[in-house]
Chain A
Amino acid sequence: MGSGIHARLSLVALLVTAGVARVVASCAESAPPAEGALDAGDKGDTAESGTVLPPPADSCGAGTWCRVELPFTAVSLNGIWGSGPEDVWVAGNPHITIHWDGKRFVRTTVDTRKALFGIWGSGKSDIWAFSTSQTMWHSQGFDGDDAGWSRSSETTGLNHKDGALYRDRPVPILAMWGTSASDVWAVGASMFSYYGSEEVPSVFHCDGWRDGEPNWQPSDTSFGDTPSPEQISFNAIHGNASSGVWIVGNGGKTRYSTGWNGDRTAWTPVNSNTSRNLNAVWCSPDADVWAAGEGATMQRFIRADGGEYAALTVDVPTTVVLRALWGFAADDVWAVGDAGTILHWDGKAWSADGSIQGLTEDLFAIWGSSKDDIWIAGRGVLLHKGSASLPREIK
């Protein structure tokens, strides 16, 4: 990241970090020894003075944010997802995926020049790395050495309602989510078809990876008598049993649905109270929904008794662009964004987590299996927080 190019980011970073107390200097230097959490080889030695020394430099300490050194600097880690603490996937550009099995990292190169915008799975044996609506990679699980990526054939898949293909303009897929291997959603950028002004859908559903590719069906999000594709780039999708499926996008556009119902799938528009681009959405188990985006926009959707959602703008201690959300409970939600921004919601207020010294990279993705196992990925950075001990470096 050139200093000239990112003058705005660095300036903002200075402002943000100036008001944040630095609690921990770094993983390796100041992580307290966690009793029983480290293998014998990882335990700190006792110095003559009786103080306990930090763990060896090749291992991340437990319980604090830990930066995992990457084998390359020019990489953008755009997505992270896992089925559990011993099955975590990271995807990014240029053409890389990383798998963590609880003991070691394994790096896989995907044979493409297209961007991997993210990664998602329904379970340990159904993982998707996505680029465009017609270029995707699927894995049936990590076998210990290899991801076994299978590339979509790109010959069929997304069908136009008149039978033609959108092959000339495959939509960049920016986010995926689903409830199972046969209920899979994808959202992406708004585009026009190459040979005309026709709108190409940006919300899709499929019944899983079948015969070497997803059989996408467009889902029209407009409301009214004749639903049609809307000119909206949707950047994020998430859902749960209590909130349904939520999609958010540029211009603050927000929709939710009770789920896929074929051609009769209905989307309900929600006033997000912002016209700013929304980059992330997370559905809390208490039925609240959080959305975050540019200019530190943080919206909380609360359902009133009558069933209508109302959006509240919640203060956050930053002004940067927020990129991703994840959480574990109504009072335990995380947000990440540009210039090394990490925020936490404790049920009452958002606060900045500035415990990682020197963290200025833009952060794009966050996922965790529990509050004791949280991962963050970004431009040239991979972070972990939890009691598990990790290698400090991906070889």
Chain B
Amino acid sequence: MTLHSNRSTSTRARVVPLMTFSSALVAIAIGCATSNDDLRILGFEPGGDAGPPPTSFTEPDAAPPEADTPMCISYECPAPYATCLDKPGLCNTNLKTDVDNCGACDKKCVVPDEGFLPNGKFSCMDGECYLQCPPFFGDCNGQLEDGCEALLLDRANCGSCGNACKEGDVCWNGACGCPPGFTQCGNDCTQLDRDPENCSACGRECTPSDVGADAWPCGEGVLPVNFGPVCNSSSCDLGCIRGQADCNNDLCGDGCETYLARDPKNCGACGHACLPEQECHRGKCQCEDPAFSLCRGYCVDLLKDPDNCGSCGNVCPGSPTGPGVPICELGRCSYYCPTGRADCDGRIDNGCEVDLMVDPLNCGGCGVHCDLENGQPCAEGRCLTKPCDVPDAGGVF
């Protein structure tokens, strides 16, 4: 089996021979030829009484037999299907896509470590394991078993695996060193022209004693609410602190009464009002795009976001880890089943619980049964059949 991470920095390959069919299946296939020749299905109809046959699944390569050709149950799993022992039935696994049997039976993409799942999203594609890491995490040691184990915000792996910052540089927001306009003070980046704790130089903190008598608007030594030392153009002064402002021009009365970062009537500046349904977030009216709404600090489309469906915080029910995910359609919650999966029991808590490709109880469609009494397998959404063996005319009777 080959294991892949989709991050180029963390790809590692381990090649294991691909198994085709399990020994159990071989034994069953032999049994088919000797004991089930009398199981005939004329004019095979996978839907039976329960509904029409599925129309969207892959047609077999071989030309279909004539309509009156006697058909018997087949127990030979077509590739890439195989009989794996972690679930019941025959031909129950697609070795190309099953994360527990990826490339071969029992070859698991993800193995819990003492009950804890490794960080990251594992998938099986074309019989090989892939790992997708969440933002700011990486698989830096190349060990798929522990998933995306590295936080990409430290100096050894700053932003990407192996990107080590040079001596003395800080790893700030996933990049080595400070961006233009910022200066490194200790392990932080700051703007020396406006930081009252690092005004013009690291560690130079502004205090009221730094200013002259004419800088006190309400009398020397009088500090109104939210008024105090600030750093203006790298010089210490007195002013409204921590994003506050005096929007009602009553500094010596209620001080700097307005918080510009969150006040929708004074957003970012006194008198700058937001539009209806906009909110003031970090001094900006959000969301600027009229099609989006601000929910918990993020601009989202209430008609599409399953975590904010129709209104902020309205989380659509159902497992988000699949198969299948909750979706939001025009502001209403729904559930998405990928091709080949279905929600046959109508319960949202178990999502798309049926694999239509291999489930003999729901083969190609909910309620479409294969011949359960005789163990007819379902593969690729079809109850498996083959032309019945025709007795040799010259045989001995």
A189 contact set on B, CB distance < 8 A = 314
Query: Which residues of B sit under 8 angstroms from A74, Cβ to Cβ?
Result: 330
**A394 within 8 Å of B (CB atoms):** no
Min Cβ gap B295→A in Å is: 10
**B178 on the A face (CB < 8 A):** no
Distance between A353 CB and nearest chain B CB, rounded to angstroms: 19
Please tell me if B111 contacts chain A, counting CB pairs below 8 Å. no
Contacts of A78 in B (CB 8 A): 331-332
Residues on B with beta carbons closer than 8 Å to the beta carbon of A18: 51-52
Alpha-carbon distance A74/B330, docked complex (angstroms): 7
Bound Cα distance A321, B348 (Å) = 10
Say how far A175's CB is from chain B's closest CB, in angstroms.
Answer: 13
A115 touches B309 (CB 8 A): yes
B46 within 8 A of A: no
**Bound state CA distance, A144 and B339, in angstroms?**
48
A110 to chain B, nearest CB (A): 11
The answer to whether B346 and A320 have CB atoms under 8 Å apart is: yes
Q: Does B303 contact A (CB under 8 A)?
A: yes
Q: Smallest CB–CB gap between B369 and chain A, Å?
A: 12
Say whether B336 faces chain A, with CB atoms less than 8 Å apart: yes
Q: Taking CB as reference atom, which chain A residue is nearest B330?
A: A76
Shortest distance in angstroms between A235's beta carbon and chain B's nearest beta carbon? Answer: 11
Whether B302 sits at the interface, judged by CB under 8 Å, is yes
Q: By the criterion CB–CB under 8 Å, are B347 and A117 in contact? A: no
* Min CB gap A215→B, angstroms: 20
Instruction: Determine the residue in chain B with the shortest Cβ distance to A131.
Output: B311
CA distance A364 to B331 in the complex (A): 13
- Check B317 against A172 for contact (C-beta < 8 Å): no
- The SS class assigned to the B binding surface is loop
Across the interface, B366 reaches (CB within 8 A) one of A11, A114, A172, A276, namely A11
Which B residues touch A170, using CB under 8 A?
311-312
CB distance from B329 to the nearest CB of A (A): 7
A302 within 8 A of B: no
Interface string of A19-56 (1 = CB under 8 A from B): 00000000000000000000000000000000000000
- CB-contacts of A279-337 with B (<8 A): 294-297, 319-321
Instruction: Give the total of B residues in contact with A, Cβ under 8 Å.
Output: 44
* Residues of B with C-beta under 8 A to A273: none
Residue A135 is within 8 A (CB to CB) of chain B in the complex: yes
Q: Is B273 at the interface (CB under 8 A from chain A)?
A: no
- Chain A residues lying within 8 Å of B336, measured Cβ to Cβ, are 5
**Does B276 sit within 8 A of A, measured CB to CB?**
yes
User: Beyond A18-B51, A93-B310, is A7–B337 a contact (Cβ under 8 Å)?
Assistant: yes
Residues of B near A14 (CB, < 8 A) are 51-52, 365
Question: In angstroms, how far is the closest chain A Cβ from the Cβ of B263?
Answer: 14
What's the nearest-Cβ distance from chain B to residue A169, in Å?
6
- Are A15 and B337 in contact, with the CB atoms below 8 A? no
What is the distance, in angstroms, from B95's C-beta to the closest C-beta of chain A? 23
Interchain CB contact under 8 A, A94 and B330: yes
> Does B291 have its Cβ within 8 Å of any Cβ on chain A?
yes
Which residues on B sit within 8 Å (CB–CB) of A15? 50-51, 365-367
Contact of A114 among B52, B311, B356, B367 (CB under 8 A): B311
B314 touches A295 (CB 8 A): no
Q: Check B332 against A276 for contact (C-beta < 8 Å).
A: no
Per-position 1/0 for B327-361, Cβ under 8 A of A: 10111101011110111111110001000100000
| Contact indicator B302/A364 (Cβ below 8 Å) | no
B293 proximal to A (CB < 8 A): yes
State the CA gap A101–B50 with chains docked (Å): 44
* A76 and B347 within 8 A (CB): no
Closest to B368 in A: A15
Query: Which A-chain residue is minimally distant from B54 (CB atoms)?
Result: A11
A254 close to chain B: CB less than 8 A: no
Residue A250 lies at the interface, judged by CB distance under 8 Å to chain B: yes
Whether A370 sits at the interface, judged by CB under 8 Å, is: no
Among candidates A113, A191, A295, A297, residue contacting B293 with C-beta atoms closer than 8 Å: A113
Is A68 engaged at the interface, CB distance under 8 Å to the other chain?
no
A selection of 28 A-B contacts at a CB cut-off of 8 Å is: A4-B338, A5-B336, A7-B341, A8-B337, A8-B343, A14-B51, A14-B52, A18-B52, A74-B330, A78-B331, A92-B330, A93-B330, A113-B277, A113-B290, A114-B310, A115-B309, A115-B311, A116-B331, A131-B311, A169-B312, A170-B311, A172-B310, A189-B314, A194-B313, A276-B346, A319-B345, A319-B367, A379-B330
Nearest 7 CB-CB pairs, A to B? A295-B346, A115-B310, A115-B331, A93-B331, A76-B330, A15-B51, A172-B314
A residues lining the B interface (CB < 8 Å): 1, 4-5, 7-8, 11-12, 14-15, 18, 74-76, 78, 92-94, 111-117, 131-132, 135, 169-170, 172, 189, 191, 194, 250, 276-277, 294-297, 319-321, 362, 364, 379
Using A7-B342, A295-B346 as known contacts, list a sample of 10 further A-B pairs with CB atoms less than 8 Å apart, ordered by residue number in A. Answer: A8-B366, A11-B356, A12-B366, A15-B51, A78-B331, A115-B303, A115-B311, A131-B310, A131-B311, A294-B348
